[in-house]
């Protein structure tokens, strides 16, 4: 297998690059390094382009032919919800434009296998605690919309020219497979809490009156190494199955509340801290966990790491 990984120098992509390398696969990374780190990809070839630029398709075709690429994993995208609300055109240009160029190049190069990074943000505010892939998606921000449209583009390419695609809807990704691959952004709960307690501040908790066991929001935290392994399972599935396209949730199926995450952080770090309790934020569903039946039954994948593993690996990677 020769795999082209877009966004391979990013947080999740670099974990997948590492697993592919360990398995002996050929890897070529396409990344503009806008949020990536070249050291994360080891000796993998790097093609440094903006996927959404006008010249990208031509370069991608050349790269796929040169490296005899047989499959693509597409991570490269902008991913900050707040920024997507402030700059929607930029998010559509980058995330949709980049995928359109990639699919065009794959079609031209006869590369017909794609694993696409989607997100639980496609669901919006579902009214059920355990979300299956079949519920109606109603994303509530431009970021989630770009992911849902991306899934439609994969489906349309499957119909039009025989692409075989797997859309992976990630839930809350955290942790690190090794220190140099850690998430450097302070945008998710775990890194935000780490940053607060390192500077001696109380981490903010938004909403303590939700209809959950302890009143705080519940989310499904999946270890980045488990998530990376799901991509290899998806690639193998596309290799052996000739289905057109399928969408899979990637989570543990178990939710953890914000207070549970904070308590695990206290235990792991040994730092005693209090939370700064704030009112609810608009747009936060009370409880969101993945129904993982489909990925378990179809790909034979399930998460093997728990919240403790996530927090310990994340803390060790950033200490
Ligand atoms: N991190 C999460 O919790 C999470 C959750 C759900 C979905 N996702 C999706 O997973 C994917 C990877 O996320 P991540 O957390 O590793 O993000 P990341 O920002 O660490 O990685 C994205 C990589 O893509 C590159 N990139 C971005 N735009 C590009 C472009 N136009 N051309 C070329 N390269 C470009 C960046 O330089 C970066 O290396 C994204 O598609 C994201 O939307 C992430």
Taken in order of first residue, the domains within the chain and their CATH numbers are: 2-172+222-250 (3.40.50.720), 174-220+252-318 (3.90.25.10)
Nearest CA, atom 23, ligand 1: 7
- Index of the ligand 1 atom closest to the CA of residue 118: 7
Instruction: Give me ligand 1 centre to Cα 305, in Å.
Output: 22
Task: Check residue 279 and give its pLDDT.
Answer: 96
To 5 degrees, how large is the angle CA 158–CA 164–CA 142? 65
Instruction: Check 11, 91, 123, 143 and give the catalytic one.
Output: 143
Distance, in Å, from the CA atom of 104 to the CA atom of 52, rounded to the nearest integer, reads 12
The ranges of the chain with pLDDT < 50 are none
Distance, in Å, from the CA atom of 42 to the CA atom of 239, rounded to the nearest integer, reads 26
Helix runs in 75-132, H state only: 81-86, 88-91, 97-109
The 3-state DSSP class for residue 28 equals: strand
The 3-state DSSP class for residue 123 equals: coil
The label of the residue with tokens 């998806």 reads 234
- Index of the ligand 1 atom closest to the CA of residue 53: 31
Nearest CA, atom 13, ligand 1: 12
The pLDDT mean for the chain works out to 96
Nearest CA, atom 36, ligand 1: 35
The 3-state DSSP class for residue 172 equals: strand
Instruction: Give me ligand 1 centre to Cα 247, in Å.
Output: 19
Structure tokens at 82: 């707040």
Its pTM stands at: 0.97
Annotated catalytic, 143? yes
Asked if residues 291 and 249 have their Cβ atoms less than 8 Å apart, the reply is: yes
Instruction: Give me ligand 1 centre to Cα 76, in Å.
Output: 5
Asked if residues 285 and 126 have their Cβ atoms less than 8 Å apart, the reply is: yes
Q: 3-state SS of the chain: helix, strand, coil percent to 5? A: 45, 20, 40
Distance, in Å, from the CA atom of 163 to the CA atom of 236, rounded to the nearest integer, reads 15
Instruction: Give me ligand 1 centre to Cα 198, in Å.
Output: 26
Which residue ranges have their beta carbon within 6 Å of ligand 1?
7, 9-13, 31-36, 50-52, 75-79, 94, 98, 117, 119, 170, 173, 188
Return the closest-CA partner of residue 181 out of 3, 14, 301: 14
Helix runs in 137-257, H state only: 142-161, 189-198, 224-240
Paired strand residues for 288:
219
Task: Check residue 185 and give its pLDDT.
Answer: 81
């Amino acid at each position: 297998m020769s795999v082209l990984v877009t966004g391979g120098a990013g947080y999740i992509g670099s974990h997948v690059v590492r697993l592919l390398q360990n398995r002996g696969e050929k890897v070529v990374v396409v990344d503009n390094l806008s949020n990536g780190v070249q050291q994360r990809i080891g000796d993998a070839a790097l093609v440094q382009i903006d996927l959404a630029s006008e010249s990208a398709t031509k370069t991608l075709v050349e790269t796929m032919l040169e490296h005899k690429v047989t499959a693509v994993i597409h991570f490269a995208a902008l991913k900050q919800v707040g920024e997507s609300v402030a700059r929607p055109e930029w998010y559509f240009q980058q995330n949709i434009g980049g995928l359109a160029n990639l699919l065009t190049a794959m079609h031209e190069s006869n590369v017909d296998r794609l694993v696409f990074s989607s997100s639980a943000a496609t669901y919006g505010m579902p009214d059920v605690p355990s979300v299956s892939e079949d519920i109606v998606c109603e994303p509530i921000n431009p970021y989630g919309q770009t992911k849902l449209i991306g899934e439609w583009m994969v489906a349309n390419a499957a119909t039009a020219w025989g692409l075989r695609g797997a859309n992976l809807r990630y839930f809350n990704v955290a942790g690190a497979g090794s220190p140099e691959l850690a998430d450097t952004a302070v945008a998710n709960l775990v890194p935000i809490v780490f940053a607060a307690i390192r500077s001696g501040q109380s981490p903010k908790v938004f909403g303590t009156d939700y209809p959950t066991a302890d009143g705080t929001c519940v989310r499904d935290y999946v270890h980045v190494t488990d998530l990376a392994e799901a991509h290899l399972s998806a690639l193998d599935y596309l290799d052996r199955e000739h289905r057109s396209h399928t969408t899979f949730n990637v989570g543990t199926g178990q939710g953890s509340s914000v207070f549970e995450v904070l308590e695990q952080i206290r235990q792991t770090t040994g730092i005693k801290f209090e939370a700064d309790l704030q009112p609810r934020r608009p747009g936060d569903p009370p409880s969101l966990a993945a129904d993982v039946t489909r990925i378990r039954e179809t790909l034979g994948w399930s998460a093997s790491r728990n919240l403790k593993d996530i927090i310990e690996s994340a803390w060790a990677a950033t200490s």
